[in-house]
A and B are shown apart, each in its own frame.
Chain A
């Protein structure tokens, strides 16, 4: 008669079943949650409101950088139909978007937009710099950054200062007073920070 592995059933399975049940409950709630469409960052508030041309924009668009300024250029075939300088030179490239301003279902205006990348925006927000370059909303975190910086440095220094171990009755600190000139009898690399004990002091 052959033996085969069997599933051991019993009360010890309860914690795992609880975790799985929690996931099922969460999934049911999340699937049924009345969440709308996410706003996202694709259509970020990056439009610079620079009207490029107000006629039917059937051509191609391009950006030209010259004399330290960025120009947005619209082409209709090979003919250049508009050429405007983009205010607040974004320095990260100019993008174009056709917008239907009259609501007749046809785009009639082309906006020149600058799109700052999300990663770049995160950097600006974390250090609260370049508020005119940001294209997505968010709070600045400079104060929180500095506070956490101080706390983590304090934790690191505290850990190094407090680090010590017993070695043959002597307390050896990681950041001890390792001055071998003052106590030439002490073996190298060891500091008797407690003044010496029964087998370790003054040797």
Chain B
């Protein structure tokens, strides 16, 4: 009756690889941030899938914590992108090659 766990894993792999594709091929920092979020959410899908696989709710509760930390991470990431834009007047990640400028 329940959906087989391997389908969830394939969905998770697809989302993860979409994020990886974005990180490897794009240079826009905002798209970078979106891609990182996709990879994070792929991990969340795995947590919930294995929670259902083992019949244990720990994975689902842990996924909630991951979401909260992802939100905080996005706030920091957007802050960094804002500074990047202010200093380089661009959000191209290849422009900022050094930690100091």
Enumerate chain A interface residues (CB-CB to B < 8 A).
15-16, 18-20, 22-23, 26-27, 30-31, 33, 35, 37-42, 44, 118, 121-122, 125-126, 136-139, 141, 144-145, 148, 152, 155, 159
The reply to whether the CB of B43 lies closer than 8 angstroms to some CB of chain A is no
What's the Cα separation between A55 and B55 when bound, in Å?
Answer: 31
For this complex, 30 residue pairs linking A to B, each with C-beta atoms less than 8 Å apart, are: A15-B25, A16-B24, A18-B24, A19-B18, A26-B10, A26-B13, A30-B6, A33-B6, A35-B5, A35-B53, A38-B2, A38-B53, A39-B52, A39-B53, A39-B55, A40-B1, A41-B52, A41-B55, A41-B57, A42-B1, A118-B60, A122-B57, A122-B61, A122-B64, A126-B64, A136-B56, A137-B56, A138-B58, A141-B65, A144-B65
Interface SS of chain A: helix, strand, loop or mixed?
Answer: helix
Chain A residues contacting B33 (CB-CB under 8 Å) are: none
Closest to A35 in B: B5
Interface SS of chain B: helix, strand, loop or mixed?
Answer: helix
Chain B residues contacting A38 (CB-CB under 8 Å) are: 2-5, 52-55
For B, the interface residue count at a CB cutoff of 8 angstroms equals: 33
Is the CB–CB distance between A118 and B24 below 8 Å?
A: no
Is the CB–CB distance between B13 and A27 below 8 Å?
A: yes
Chain B residues contacting A145 (CB-CB under 8 Å) are: 65
By Cβ-Cβ distance, the 8 closest A-B pairs, closest first, are A39-B55, A138-B57, A15-B24, A23-B17, A26-B13, A19-B21, A30-B9, A38-B53
